[in-house]
Amino acid sequence: MPFSHHSHSGEFCGHGENTVEEVVQTAISKKFQVYALTEHMPREEQDLYPEEIKSSHTTATLSKQFNDYYYESLRLQKTYASEIKLLIGMEIDWIRPSSKEIIEDLLSKYQFDLFIGSVHHVHTIPIDYDRKLYLEAREKAGGTDERLFEDYFDLQYEMLRALKPPVVGHLDLIRLMSDDPDTRMSQWEGVWQKILRNLRFIAEYGGVVELNSSALRKGMREPYPTAKICKEFLAMGGAFTLSDDSHGIGQVGTNYGKLLDFVEKTDLPTITYFKKNTTTKDDRFPGVSIKMITVTSIKEHPTFF
């Protein structure tokens, strides 16, 4: 069963392409059966990205854009209900403790099916936007990748404890702009222990870690997270799902064949996907309405590509 729990569009994301409807139509053409729409949440004024500043965005305009996204997604969910199961959600940006209030307000204002728990900033500086900003964050952390990785996973732990997101997005995103994106993080004892701590917490509350194929299209050897992290999480009883983290029609389902190979090579016995829950609430995930479904053998689904 092809599915993705993380996507963006150029209509509602400054570094994306195409309309969200075009993304949905592409997912249908590629025989996706479940596809989540998860545009970025609005951020505070001081956290605008360079492209947003260039486009004269403000917190107010981003909030309006997000509101437009939500109601457009509702329309698409109904329009294409017979062709694909669309989930409506958002990707959060945990930047500082005050992020919690903003996120909780969004969860109370909108009826989401799920949300992606992500960290894109360390010391309030974006760490996946470009190398220059990554280096600024690294300098504030103490000047080394090791120190920055430690701070990233501490901030991620803060986010996990505050929100318990149903899906944890690109868990080791911090690798992207580092000196060696394929580095063995277990070489750094402090970093590795923080990763294990975070994984234990996710497993305890029942969160799902996404296998995110975007790392492959960005030149990394393994998706987010690495095989070593996956094996540790699996040993803890953790569950995994799949995401393409697409930012336009050209990235829908990109590298899913390689992602499937990774699942088999890493000996992950099951994959989880989500369905809209219209009956009972899952108390583990307040503010959203989802139901977890486990696929015991994704090889049985010939439409996988």
Q: pLDDT digits over 19-56, tens only?
A: 999 999 999 999 999 999 999 999 988 998 888 888 88
How many CB atoms are closer than 10 A to CB 102? Answer: 19
Q: pLDDT tens digits, residue range 113-158?
A: 999 999 999 999 999 999 999 999 999 999 999 999 999 999 999 9
Nearest to 116 by CA among 4, 250, 283, 226: 4
Q: List, for the chain, all residue ranges whose pLDDT scores fall below the cut of 50.
A: 302, 304-305
Res 179: pLDDT: 97
SS3 108: helix
Nearest to 295 by CA among 268, 275, 270, 276: 270
Whether the CB-CB separation of 166 and 288 falls below 8 Å is answered with: yes
Domains and CATH numbers, the chain: 90-300 (3.20.20.140)
Res 295: pLDDT: 62
Report the C-alpha gap between 167 and 6 in whole angstroms: 9
Res 294: pLDDT: 67
Enumerate residues 6+ apart whose C-beta is below 8 A from 132: none
**Tokens 């505070």, located at residue:** 44
Exposed / middle / buried, residue 181 (Cβ in 10 Å: 0-12, 13-18, 19+): middle
Q: What is the pLDDT of the chain when averaged over all its residues? A: 91
Cis amide prior to 126 (ω within 30 degrees): no
Which tokens belong to 260? 């499937």
Please report, rounded to a whole number, the percentage of residues in the chain having pLDDT higher than 90.
76
How many CB atoms are closer than 10 A to CB 280? Answer: 8
Res 13: pLDDT: 79
DSSP assignment of 40-95 equals: EPP--GGG--HHHHHTT--HHHHHHHHHHHHHHHHHHHHHTTTT-EEEEEEE----
Report the C-alpha gap between 207 and 194 in whole angstroms: 17
Q: Indicate the pTM of the whole model.
A: 0.93
